[in-house]
């Protein structure tokens, strides 16, 4: 794992420097779905403490096992209404908000003793029927709803561009970055572009990603896969 992490951090640094960006502007989010708590613990000893989970029950089990570590937990999967209470209670970030109803539930169910929940709007930037997320045209309306909720802190947007894009997703990343820039006219505090995964994170960094979500590139192939 150390070898993979070192190689990744070098690629991240090279991409960031090529884009003229400062050292603290890109966060590596370790996507740990199907990975064990032991693997996350090993990664934490190497300094990676932002952990992204797609499946609630799997995440809650790992959180219990790793409660002694100071980890920042990000929920990055689709959100079902019956899961919002546990998500609101056990995570620091949610990247996949795509409905006003979900935003209201997360706000209402966020424990009052915790700081506001950091939230990103999931955008279906390529209008793919198979993916969750709001359209680009719907972003301002949902952003206004979230920004008015006191137990949520709207940070920015998340997207997963189509896998077969000829440009590696670069145009989609650029579109998301431009959308965030426009939204800052009404919500100046926005600061997050959660975009880029193992196969396209360098293009995402070039277009302004602040959080890149890496799984296979960081942990290696999932068990049972080549």
User: Is 225 part of a structural domain of the chain?
Assistant: no
The pLDDT assigned to 218 comes to 94
User: Is 170 part of a structural domain of the chain?
Assistant: yes
User: Is 218 part of a structural domain of the chain?
Assistant: no
Tokens 């997207």 map to which residue? 159
User: Is 208 part of a structural domain of the chain?
Assistant: yes
User: Is 224 part of a structural domain of the chain?
Assistant: no
The pLDDT assigned to 225 comes to 47
* pLDDT average per 10 residues of sequence, the chain (226 residues): 94 97 96 96 97 98 98 97 98 98 98 97 88 93 98 97 85 96 97 96 97 95 60
Q: Which domain holds residue 12?
A: 2-213
What's 22's domain CATH number? 3.20.20.10
Model pTM score: 0.96
Q: Which pair of structure tokens corresponds to residue 218? A: 């960081």
The pLDDT assigned to 224 comes to 56
Domain count, the chain: 1
User: Is 223 part of a structural domain of the chain?
Assistant: no
User: Is 34 part of a structural domain of the chain?
Assistant: yes
């Amino acid at each position: 794992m150390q070898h993979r992490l070192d190689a990744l951090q070098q690629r991240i640094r090279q991409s960031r420097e090529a884009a003229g960006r400062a050292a603290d502007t890109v966060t590596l989010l370790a996507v740990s779905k199907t990975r064990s708590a032991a693997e996350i613990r090993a990664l934490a000893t190497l300094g990676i403490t932002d952990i992204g989970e797609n499946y609630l029950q799997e995440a809650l089990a790992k959180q219990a096992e790793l409660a002694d570590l100071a980890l920042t937990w990000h929920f990055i999967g689709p959100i079902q209404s019956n899961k919002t209470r546990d998500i609101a209670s056990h995570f620091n970030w949610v990247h996949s908000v795509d409905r006003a109803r979900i935003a209201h539930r997360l706000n209402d169910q966020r424990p009052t003793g915790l700081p506001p929940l950091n939230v990103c709007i999931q955008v279906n930037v390529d209008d793919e029927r198979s993916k969750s997320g709001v359209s680009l045209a719907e972003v301002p309306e949902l952003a206004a709803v979230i920004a008015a909720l006191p137990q949520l802190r709207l940070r920015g947007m998340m997207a997963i561009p189509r896998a077969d894009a000829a440009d590696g997703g670069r145009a989609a990343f650029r579109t998301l970055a431009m959308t965030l820039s426009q939204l800052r006219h009404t919500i100046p505090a926005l600061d997050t572009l959660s975009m880029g995964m193992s196969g396209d994170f360098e293009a995402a960094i070039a277009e302004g990603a602040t959080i890149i979500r890496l799984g296979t590139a960081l942990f290696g192939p999932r068990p049972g896969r080549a």
